[in-house]
Structure 1
């Protein structure tokens, strides 16, 4: 109950404080986004027309939700499944009162900005799922203390889930399935089901396999491979040595007994 009250007070404070921010910044934010992404279907190009200039005109843009229909202040950007491409969009820091960003099911690639929380400090929902984002998950996300939804599944993210994510106490939705992540799952996130973490071969800890068990299994497999390679190497060495000794006996200095054995093999 206390958390809900705190959240409502925060929203009221954000709404009132952003009245002081110029809506020109939000317009510049959307212009930067439009210019920085690849838009093969022309969705943003056709819908985001900046020649109007009336109050709240950006609120009619595809994927743009405003705090108020007659104010050019962006509440959230919902750009999922629009066929957009390129790196992470630029200029989002100018949408200074934005609380939601959805870039899911597009073809974005490259790293997630390491300073993402500085760009969008008030986000409560961040959905980057079903893209091709790569690199590590920014530790900086842990500074988004109001974040309740974080979807990063179906990308190419690697490395660990930052331990600092234990500070994201308001998270109600979290998913990193089907990436290239490794290491232990932070304790705060272990309340989420295994389906939110599957598809990361090196990720361990509850609700997945125990990390110590996973480590012992890898050591066992590694030792098994070493033994196999040693056995193969010994067998190959024996065969090569035998063949060389059989066909090129003059290249070696043999004892009389070994020389006689090689002569006998030739006669056979």
Structure 2
């Protein structure tokens, strides 16, 4: 299947591991809402160099870490929410990325958010219900298109950047020690 480029098998009852044979021209994979388990193959989507890469593995039973090889992929949209993934998700972030939507919520991810930079055209960032620590980098306030933001239920600390004060308190609730509008003032 060398010319295969679009795979949509969402909302089935698929189980087992994700095969590592999808690479080259595949730019769209949606395996969300199944019963897939095991690790995300490091070779998944390797070889495709476009900026329109779409990957949704949401609501499965995946474990392990987000592959370091994802650092070399420009995901337009990536959704890994609702799994049991651990470790560092910062490979999905970075100023040079072209991502518009990133959702890694409801996992067991644990990394320091303090020095992370964000894709310039990011419109949606959902990292809630993880174990992410550190502070919120001021660079996030430079994102002109950011509309959806959820950093709740993590271990973040420090003042909320003033450019994020228009978001509701639910965006930042249940963190270790975030403070400032829209949460209680810093002491």
TM-score (norm 2): 0.72
Instruction: Calculate the aligned-residue CA RMSD, in Å.
Output: 3.1
How far residue 123 of structure 1 moved from its aligned partner, in angstroms, is 0.2
Q: For residue 199 of structure 1, report the CA deviation from its aligned partner.
A: 0.4
Aligned pair partner of 2:100 in 112, 124, 142: 124
Q: Is the 8 Å Cα contact of residues 114 and 135 (structure 2) preserved in structure 1?
A: no
Could you list the per-position Cα deviations for residues 126-161 of structure 1 after superposition, in whole angstroms to 9, with x for gaps in the alignment? 11110111121153333x110010001000111211
What corresponds to 1:44 in structure 2?
Answer: 18
Query: Superposed, which structure 2 residues align to 1:49-60 within 5 Å?
Result: 49-50=21-22, 58=26
Q: Which runs of 5+ in 2 are unaligned?
A: 6-14, 33-47
Cross-structure match for 2:78: 101
Structure that is richer in strand per residue:
2
C-alpha contact 2:114 2:134 (8 A) present in aligned 1: no
Change (3 A) 1:49 1:170: same
Q: Which has the larger radius of gyration?
A: 1
Closer, same or farther: CA 115–198 of 1 in aligned 2, 3 Å: closer
Aligned residue runs from structure 1 range 112-151, under 5 A: 112-113=89-90, 116-117=93-94, 121-137=97-113, 139-142=115-118, 144-151=119-126
Say yes or no: does 1:78 pair with 2:52: no
CA shift, 1:62, in A, is 4.0
Distance verdict in 2 for CA 1:50–1:204, change over 3 Å: closer
How many angstroms apart in 2 are the aligned matches of 1:115 and 1:152?
A: 12
Q: Is the 8 A contact 1:125 1:147 kept in 2?
A: yes
Q: Which has the higher contact order (CA 8 A, sep 6+)?
A: 2
Name the structure where helix makes up a greater proportion of residues.
1
Cα distance per residue 1:27-80 (max 9 Å; x no partner): 9xxxxxxxxxxxxx42523xx6459x8xx6x3675449xxxxxx9955310111
Shift of the 61–192 alpha-carbon distance from structure 1 to 2, 3 Å rule, reads closer
Residue correspondences, number: 160
